[in-house]
Structure 1
Amino acid sequence: MPVIDANWQHDYITTNGIKLHYVTQGEGALMLMLHGFPEFWYSWRHQIPEFAKYFKVVAVDLRGYNDSDKPKEQSAYRMDEFIRDIKGLIEGLGYEKCVLVGHDWGGAIAWCFAYTYPEMVERLVVLNIPHPAKLAEGLRTPAQLLKSSYMFLFQLPWLPEVLIQSWDYQLIENAFQGMAVDKNAFSKSDIEAYKNAAAKRGSLTAMLNYYRNIFQDQMFNKSLGILEVPTLMIWGESDTALGKELTYGTEAYVRDLQIKYIPNCSHWVQQERPELVNQYIQEYLGL
């Protein structure tokens, strides 16, 4: 069975015209967690109970994922829509600001949200996702272009869906087990949970639509300036999709930045090395 905690509460909230599902535990100030691709709230299973000691932790299914609504239009998966979702979620939960934590695509949304509404982000924590300007720079280099070749595959209609569904979603299993340095980081039931989430009606196309808008999205194609929100970046050094060099020079874009590197750890950093990730976040927040 996947990891289940009886203290986790499942709920829904309507924001920006859609219904989002989330899991929550704890009381107090808000810590909002945003997952990546091809995940859902479950990727924070090792962080939710730990940080619920200090915060009201909310791990949301982003639009298109798992039990959240899945608009059919590709245009519904632009960064400005994600930002409106998160603003409405924070306000709908009764808060004015939060500690915002994001990994992969959730981290990209977190970066852009912090730029758009810095007054709503007390602290920003991003895991294995570069600053948008550094990602844009990286995609102009042969090495990162090769690592990011899957992004170009995902631009195609219907073919990526067919490939990912083939052989009982084998590519999703490969994404986790194949990229992980510690092959024991994911149980068989963990992998099945991710497969089941991707298999829900409309999910796979919705998840891929994040990538299908990336090269046209203005949030990735404009000068964002200097981010004033204090930021912690945690980076698994053995990420095969996003090179460590994408972190170099980030301090030019962030006024108050700390970076923690974790050697021998993959892209799935908070799931592969949860104790160390939790420790670094706790130290950063002074808990």
Structure 2
Amino acid sequence: MPSVLNDPDLGTHGYVHLADVKIHYVAQGDETKPLMLFVHGFPEFWYSWRFQLREFKNDYRVVAIDMRGYGDSDKPSGVANYQMSKLVTDLKQIIPALGYRSCVLVGLDWGAVIARIFASKHPHMVDKLITMNCPRPDIIHNYLETHMFELKKVWYILFFQVPFLPELMLLVNDMKLMETTMAGPNGNLTVGTLSTEDMEAYKYALSRPGAATAVIDYYRAFIRFPPRKISKISCPLLVIWGCKDMILDRDMSAAAAAVVDNQTVKYIEEAGHWVMMDTPDIVNKHMRDFLK
């Protein structure tokens, strides 16, 4: 295991046992403080929230999870195990398993999609919601229908429906595809944001047995089991958007305003898709201002 994953300043490792999976998490902060729960996206794991774990540990019980299929969490086989209803149910079980009734919920990418649906279905369990660089799933679908030029950017969603080959593509050549996508010259992070040790941590997480198939099964399940239309989000919502995202257009960020009672959008021009790693100081300030 890469040494950066055992940094005691990031917190302690633990597990919660849910109805059908075991979920790994890293936690920091006083357990009597409110819960701030972090949900990552593809192809990540809990470590993506390292800057926020350090920033908010004095004010919250900060917990970053490995979603099912990722990192040290269980990786059940079968596409059906990664449909949205399962992922939302995981969050519903995780919060009380950690000893809380509600939380400040923070998500990026797939984590943002899941967090939005969860907040709409279980509003009493979300005090405030913060999402980054991914809108609601129905907004993605509708936006792509009317912005056909975006389709060439998301070709990988269709490619991921193919059996076996996507997994092979992710893993070959020492996971060069993930490395260039995240931190290459044309990647979604500013060059130099990830150290060599950081990149090794991401490779380590994706190399766990069954992980490559599980993380791609999120995309397969999204097509085979599309989520139903979700209800209006009633809790305050902060959307943080890195405008150098190579895949998702910034116009998507505000497109859901009509189905949110109280939405604030903050654009960060110099940040890419993984905005919380690219410009952590700016992201943390926006979060603090919102949480006040």
> What TM-score results when the alignment is normalised by the length of structure 2?
0.94
Alignment pair present for 1:5 and 2:13: no
Give secondary structure in 2 for the equivalent of 1:111.
helix
Cα shift at 1:137:
1.1
Aligned to 1:136: 141
Cα shift at 1:55:
0.4
For the 8 Å contact 2:246–2:273, the answer to whether it is kept is yes
Aligned to 2:19: 16
Q: Structure 2: how far apart are the matches of 1:4 and 1:180?
A: 26
Calculate percent identity across the aligned residue pairs. 39
Alignment pair present for 1:155 and 2:161: yes
Cα shift at 1:4:
5.0
Q: Structure 2: how far apart are the matches of 1:142 and 1:249?
A: 16
Q: Which of 119, 141, 163 is the matching residue for 1:114?
A: 119
Give secondary structure in 2 for the equivalent of 1:214.
helix
Cα shift at 1:181:
5.0
Q: Which of 56, 76, 84 is the matching residue for 1:79?
A: 84
Alignment pair present for 1:29 and 2:34: yes
For the 8 Å contact 1:16–1:84, the answer to whether it is kept is no
Give secondary structure in 1 for the equivalent of 2:51.
coil
- Count of residue correspondences: 284
5 Å-filtered alignment, 1:191-202, equals: 191-202=199-210
Cα shift at 1:130:
1.0
Amino acid at match of 1:204: A
Amino acid at match of 2:275: V
Cα shift at 1:64:
0.5
Q: Which of 247, 259, 279 is the matching residue for 1:241?
A: 247
Shift in CA distance, 210/181, structure 1 to aligned 2, threshold 3 Å: closer
Amino acid at match of 2:18: T
Cα RMSD for the two superposed structures: 1.3
Q: Structure 1: how far apart are the matches of 2:126 and 2:84?
A: 17
Cα shift at 1:3:
6.4
Cα shift at 1:86:
0.8
Q: Which of 90, 94, 101 is the matching residue for 1:89?
A: 94
Alignment pair present for 1:212 and 2:214: no
> What TM-score results when the alignment is normalised by the length of structure 1?
0.96
Amino acid at match of 1:16: A
Q: Structure 1: how far apart are the matches of 2:118 and 2:194?
A: 30
5 Å-filtered alignment, 1:174-189, equals: 174-178=180-184, 179-189=187-197
Shift in CA distance, 218/153, structure 1 to aligned 2, threshold 3 Å: closer
For the 8 Å contact 2:189–2:274, the answer to whether it is kept is no
Aligned to 1:47: 52
Amino acid at match of 1:228: S
Q: Structure 2: how far apart are the matches of 1:13 and 1:249?
A: 35
Amino acid at match of 2:4: P
